[in-house]
Structure 1
Amino acid sequence: MFKAVVGHSNDPDSLSAVEEVLQQCTNSLAGDIPKAGILFAAIDFEHSFILQQIHQAFPGIELIGGTTDGEISSVLEFYHHYLGLLPPSMEYPLAVFDHNGENFYIRAPIAYNQESGSITFFGDIPDQAVIQISEAAYEDILAASKASFMNALDNYPGAEPSAVLFFSCVARRQILGTRAQEEYQNTKLGLANYFPACGFYSYGEIAPVDRISQTQFHNETFVTLILGSR
């Protein structure tokens, strides 16, 4: 019976990477002896050293392969590499950076498939996008809602605001739990004068990151819209 196993590492260090790959393969082989292998390694690894380590682990194995500009792995493996056995969740969304690499928007995972290694997010992620796993403590989330309001207030082009609308992602409420009301309470701390405010929880927010950025569809975001006349 033909048996194939796969090992993968994101570690940039040659020794750590080959040790991780060999351990994964050894565990998956469960005592079977491999006869041949296909090796793909990034161009900046120490390839002779890696080959030496592989032949020490599996004497006599026949190898083919080459160097690459990038390797393919499942997004679930990407999460497990940084979070261990923690499953993808709203507490660890992806930050998706724009083409300039300066601003980012959030994509929250809602489901995953262990067999295919896929993760379903609340919104699309462009091909070849630069991403980063993010996390935020309660205080960070609350501070961000206040920062959203203060940023809108500081950039308001009129003389005096007349009203304000707040849109907070329902995921933020689920993460904050009993502290969810503090999001709105924190915004009032920046008010010198009272004016009407209302809002609601949403399953996705539409807004630019700043005054000059393109409008994006967001997850887990707090959006402030100030209304008034010039």
Structure 2
Amino acid sequence: MDGQPAVEIFKSHASATNQSLNLDEPIAFFLHNLVGIDMGIGYKLRVPLMIEADGSVVCAAEVPVGSTIRIMGATIQSAKDAAEAAVKDALLKMGGEQPAAALFFDCVATRLKMGQQFKSELDGVQRLLDPTHYVGCNTHGQIVRAEGQFSGFHNCTAVVCLFPD
């Protein structure tokens, strides 16, 4: 933030991208403008939730002091693609076996952002898992510790857990 209050960065971003940022009710803007923490091998996303009186922005999970961050967004299609990629990765790790059951979790921010279109993400998950059915929920962050993925707390992440027969 280069010493500026975070809200000033978000205001500049809103202006530069021709978006509306209501400082009294910023969540609609924040759901489409996430904080991406540069991890050197990718980004961990954080959902901004509210603006404090001092201009700081509170996120759903920690943003370490001194982090390099970017304001990031996602499309409906990229959220669907991410969920489907999580399913494909989980199925690949099953080595060709059909799972007996599946759990699917996605961040509540994704559901809020997608609105009624969230069903299309769920339909894609079911299409890939068919004939296996799944249960799941929207969560506030997920823990994923799988080879090739970030460890620790995530926001805006689709997570799939498959159970062998």
Normalised by the length of structure 2, the TM-score is 0.82
SS at match of 1:94: strand
Say if 2:89 is the partner of 1:89. Answer: no
Q: C-alpha displacement at 1:190, in angstroms?
A: 2.2
Say if 2:71 is the partner of 1:118. Answer: no
Contact in 1 for aligned 2:105/2:139 (Cα 8 Å): yes
Q: Where does 1:123-142 land on structure 2 (aligned, <5 Å)?
A: 123-142=61-80
Superposed CA deviations along residues 92-116 of structure 1, whole A, max 9, x for unmatched, are: 1111122xx1122210011003x41
Task: Give the letter for the 1:125 counterpart.
Answer: V
Q: Partners in 2 of 1:176 and 1:136 — Cα distance?
A: 10
Q: C-alpha displacement at 1:206, in angstroms?
A: 1.4
Q: Kindly report the root-mean-square deviation, in angstroms, between the aligned alpha carbons of the 2 structures.
A: 2.2
Say if 2:45 is the partner of 1:106. Answer: yes
Q: Where does 1:1-230 land on structure 2 (aligned, <5 Å)?
A: 71-84=2-15, 86=21, 87=26, 89-98=30-39, 101-113=40-52, 115-156=53-94, 159-191=97-129, 193-208=130-145, 210-228=146-164
Q: C-alpha displacement at 1:217, in angstroms?
A: 0.8
Task: Give the letter for the 1:76 counterpart.
Answer: V
Q: C-alpha displacement at 1:170, in angstroms?
A: 1.4
Task: Give the letter for the 1:90 counterpart.
Answer: L
SS at match of 1:200: strand
Name stretches of at least 5 consecutive residues in structure 2 with no aligned partner: none
Task: Give the letter for the 1:147 counterpart.
Answer: A
Q: Partners in 2 of 1:198 and 1:129 — Cα distance?
A: 36
Q: C-alpha displacement at 1:154, in angstroms?
A: 1.9
| Structure of greater Rg | 1
Same amino acid, percent of matched pairs: 24
Superposed CA deviations along residues 176-212 of structure 1, whole A, max 9, x for unmatched, are: 1111211111012324x5123111111221114x514
Task: Give the letter for the 2:80 counterpart.
Answer: L
Which structure is higher in RCO with an 8 Å CA cutoff and minimum separation 6? 2
Q: Partners in 2 of 1:156 and 1:103 — Cα distance?
A: 26
Name stretches of at least 5 consecutive residues in structure 1 with no aligned partner: 1-9, 11-70
Structure 1 residue ranges (4+ consecutive) displaced by more than 6 angstroms after TM superposition: none
Task: Give the letter for the 1:91 counterpart.
Answer: H
Task: Give the letter for the 1:132 counterpart.
Answer: R
